[in-house]
Structure 1
Amino acid sequence: MIPQDEFQRPELQKGIGKTGMFSLAFGAMIGVGWVTAMGFWLSNAGPLGAVIAFAIGGLILLAIGFCYAEVTSALPLSGGEVAYAYKAYGTSKAFIVGWFLVFGYLSVSAFEAVSISKVLSYLIPSIDYWELYSVNGSPIYFSHIALSAVFVLVISAVNYTGVKNSARFQVGLTVLFISLTFIFVIAGLVMGDFNNLNPMFSSSDTGTIMSGVAMVLVTVPFWFVGFDTIPQAAEEAEENISAKTIGLLIPLSIVSAVCFYMLIIISTSIAAPWNEILSDKLPTAKAFEIATESPFLVNLILVTALVGLLTSWNGFFLAGSRVLFAMGRGKIIAPALGESHIKHQTPYKAVLFSGVVTFLASLMGPGAMVAFVNVGSLCIVIAFFGVSASFLSLRKKFPDLDRPYKAPGGSILGLIGIAGSLTILLLMVFPNSSVALVWPFEWAIFLTFSVLGILFWIFSTKSRNSVPEKERDYLILEKFV
């Protein structure tokens, strides 16, 4: 055990309760994709195909989630995956996992920054003002950039001023989201027609039914990522929350999100013939408009989408800043990112960095939204692979490590997590795969961020080497060395 007064370790405020933890994860997973990406899911796989894709993806993520639950209860530390990979494999592997996870989180953050203008422009068409340029054929308006900037500032401010503020913000919005969703889903099921589900599978140009399902399946990690916000914030949990409870909240949030996505896909497809809504900007809203003939209900859906957007954005923004903070605190990258605000006890420099990156990425506009999804999914799957491997390694290297929550099925879950994430990973990088990253745009984004990671690693060499491993152990793992 390293004496706690031997080294200075920046600390974060403890202020997230059980409801806050669940809301952080569930709120991050629901997001706004159920409004903006519904057309992609249905056009490629059809209602049943999309449900199957989410079911398979959910099972894979649940296996990974159980791995997370065990290691999170054993190592409830800020930065989650960085700490697990560090204890299992050392500094370089921790950086690889952390870097790709940061990009995955900030991809979601950028996706939400763009989505907010897209949803608002549906509510207020006149908001599309002063076209500046285009990306991938999609126009970028000055008004959209201004909106993104305002909301980036709001999210940044919430996370800058204290984790209790962020948790209250998340809980309030999640409760509101669930309440609003209940209203329009019931209306759609009652006023829709179950015959609208036909055909159950898409007859698009993807080739076979399974290729369409696969196209949706590989994006599932992007929609379900969010349960891993709990590990990022575990160090900031209230003192009265047990490590076992923190672990249990992870699979609970995954199951809740799987049920939510399946319900939304089915209810949207029942509300209106799904083939007739694919060309609409927001197919989910269009379906319920057809079913209810109620402009009020459509606006209610869009308000719900905005609420979901903010819960997702806040969750991922918090998580991304904590990963950066953990790597900075451990002096794996620039130590400045690991500083804690004297008054608010927040990773304020990591928060500011995340805000700047989110805004800059949002300048790519709607034409980059699919790229954010695909590249973000790839990065997140890389991180999931790393956590599953860390889960197995920690079981082998540290069998006596206290594990308040133990994953059911033992090491087999780690193998399932590795196999599932590796399968999706290979599908996304194999050139002849129907779901591979698109050349050159998506690969350019991925390679650019990978090169930036290499540069971050190189330019942090001096500060990284200035810290003895004994000190880094304590900075990252604290009492769990």
Structure 2
Amino acid sequence: MAGSLKHNISLFGLVSLGAGGVIGSSWIYTNSQFFKVYGAGGEIFGLLIASALAVLVSLSFAELSTIFSRSGGEVVYGYAAFGKKGALFAGWALLGAYLSILAFFVTASSLLISTIFPQIAVGPYYTFAGVRVHLTELAIGVAFTLLIFLINYYGAQLTGRVQILLFLLLVILGLSLVLVGFTQGNAGNFLPAFSAEQNKTSSIFRFILPAMTFLTGWESVAVMAEETNIPRKRIGLVVVLSIVIAALYYCSVLLSSAWIYPWEKTATMQMGTIDAFKAAGFPILSIFAYMISFLGLATSFLSLFAAAPRLIFSLARGNILPTAFTKIHPKYGTPTNALWLVLALVLGLGWLGKGALVYFLDMGGFLIALAWSFSTFCLLNIRRKYPMLTGGFRNRNLVAPTLGGLIALGVALLTLIPGTPVSLVWPAEYVILAIWVVLGLVSYGISRKDPTVSADFLGSHLDAVIDPKTAEHSDD
């Protein structure tokens, strides 16, 4: 392995990667569709509940990230708790979720541009799932993906600095919408928050799964913990803080759009918040909302594209994937082979285009719920097996993280049961899931040939406490 991972992500850089990684793009213009289906109350209150769930789940990540400040985050937690099976399960769930969302971003970038320049959706095309994919749109998505790849390739420090700049712009623009929305709008535009045809309880509940997809990305704090230059005890706080910041941002901006203009009228529009501020007489703020969609796309794309290769790198360092993916650039300190693999996988999925958007979001939501729940079981087992292991962040009791994990597991199970409000789409999404499971099982079968792990997989301060042979024995 050439070179080593460099410790050059600052505290603010880590917060920006966490919170900025959560704040995505589509939420600010798809709220017109969500308002129509769930009501303004269904989306906003559902998002608040999903945020509370994410905070509960993050308490497990927060504690474990200060004990195991290693690249890969939950991959390492899974190994310490359940051996290689646990590491692969955790890594495969998170990696599948991240790849689904990254593939969504390839298409989303061209979708955003086409709202201003509809002429890009002309010329040669092919069809997937009954939807046209124009080559010009695909080329734009590929170009944007390559830019994100290059920023990540040249080091975590550059990624962190770019993320800080983009995140600051996001905050400034978001505060502008919130300030004007609440000072110039009124509660009458928001209330009643549901239409007469919408059931309040089911509308809120049904939005939780897509909301969980919106809230994905804060896990990157734990995944990239090894590359920070801050005390370990602060990493756990950043994990929780990232969700709180992102949730407040989402809910305040969405609520401001329902405050400034009647949400039921926004529900009939095409671009949600963007159209709402324009219709309310604030065209400049409409442009701000459009800029937020681009910035959110960039911050999420950048953060998840940084985290995904670290998951592959960690799986390889644990001899679960080929050791070729442990190669690190001697100058930039980035896992180069893992980055190239992520690029190939994202572009390989991204060509599916707009017809696969629902698949990407649903699979991302299911897999992230699975990964969130698993972190709780990792914490419970590590507390049982290694009671003396402590980090800078420790839950006084495990009621809250356990509750979060069980709820997340319940949501994941409901997606597998046909006929529930959050079920996967039959048969396409079940087939995709089956393929991903088979690939994971093949990876595990290959890894069994070498039961050892790299000496620095867990961290030098834990190698003497957790014997890799003992951890591996728990597989059998």
Task: State TM-score, norm by structure 1.
Answer: 0.92
Q: Aligned residue for 1:97?
A: 90
Q: Aligned residue for 1:5?
A: none
Task: Give distance in 1, aligned partners of 2:122 and 2:461.
Answer: 54
Q: Aligned residue for 1:465?
A: 449
8 Å Cα contact 1:173/1:311 also seen in 2? yes
Q: Aligned residue for 1:411?
A: 398
Q: Residues 203-261 of structure 1: CA distance to partner in whole angstroms, max 9, x if unpaired?
A: 56xx73322212211222211111111001100001xx111111111111111111111
* Worse-matched range after superposition: 445-454 or 53-62: 445-454
Task: Give distance in 2, aligned partners of 1:63 and 1:10.
Answer: 37
8 Å Cα contact 1:114/1:365 also seen in 2? yes
Task: Give distance in 2, aligned partners of 1:410 and 1:432.
Answer: 36
Q: Aligned residue for 2:384?
A: 396
Q: Aligned residue for 2:290?
A: 302
Return the offset for 1:437. 0.7
Task: Give distance in 1, aligned partners of 2:232 and 2:227.
Answer: 12
Q: Aligned residue for 2:407?
A: 420
Return the offset for 1:366. 1.9
Letter in 1 for 2:225: A
Q: Aligned residue for 2:213?
A: 222
> Are 1:434 and 2:421 an aligned pair?
yes
Task: Give distance in 1, aligned partners of 2:37 and 2:267.
Answer: 10
Alignment of 1:129-144 (within 5 A): 129-144=122-137
Alignment of 1:67-466 (within 5 A): 67-202=60-195, 208-238=199-229, 241-294=230-283, 296-407=284-395, 409-458=396-445, 460-461=446-447, 464-466=448-450
Letter in 2 for 1:118: L
**1:338/1:203 Cα in 2 relative to 1: closer, same or farther (>3 Å)?**
farther
8 Å Cα contact 2:328/2:334 also seen in 1? yes
Letter in 1 for 2:262: P
Give the secondary structure class of the aligned counterpart of 1:117. helix
Q: Residues 172-195 of structure 1: CA distance to partner in whole angstroms, max 9, x if unpaired?
A: 100011111122332333343432
Q: Residues 283-313 of structure 1: CA distance to partner in whole angstroms, max 9, x if unpaired?
A: 121111111252x332222122111110010
Letter in 1 for 2:441: I
**1:203/1:363 Cα in 2 relative to 1: closer, same or farther (>3 Å)?**
farther
Between the aligned residues of both structures, percent identity stands at 28
Task: Give distance in 1, aligned partners of 2:82 and 2:361.
Answer: 29
Return the offset for 1:9. 9.2
Runs (5+) with no aligned partner, structure 2: 464-476
**1:253/1:14 Cα in 2 relative to 1: closer, same or farther (>3 Å)?**
same
Q: Aligned residue for 1:41?
A: 34
Letter in 2 for 1:233: M
Q: Aligned residue for 1:3?
A: none
> Are 1:12 and 2:5 an aligned pair?
yes
Return the offset for 1:342. 1.8
Runs (5+) with no aligned partner, structure 1: 1-7
Return the offset for 1:75. 0.8
Letter in 2 for 1:103: G
Return the offset for 1:41. 2.9
**1:454/1:37 Cα in 2 relative to 1: closer, same or farther (>3 Å)?**
farther
Task: State TM-score, norm by structure 2.
Answer: 0.92
Task: Give distance in 2, aligned partners of 1:184 and 1:127.
Answer: 29
Q: Residues 364-420 of structure 1: CA distance to partner in whole angstroms, max 9, x if unpaired?
A: 21222222111101111111111110011111111101321112x422123212211
Aligned-residue RMSD, C-alpha: 1.9
Task: Give distance in 2, aligned partners of 1:477 and 1:44.
Answer: 48
Give the secondary structure class of the aligned counterpart of 2:224. helix
Return the offset for 1:10. 6.4
8 Å Cα contact 2:174/2:249 also seen in 1? no
Give the secondary structure class of the aligned counterpart of 2:218. coil
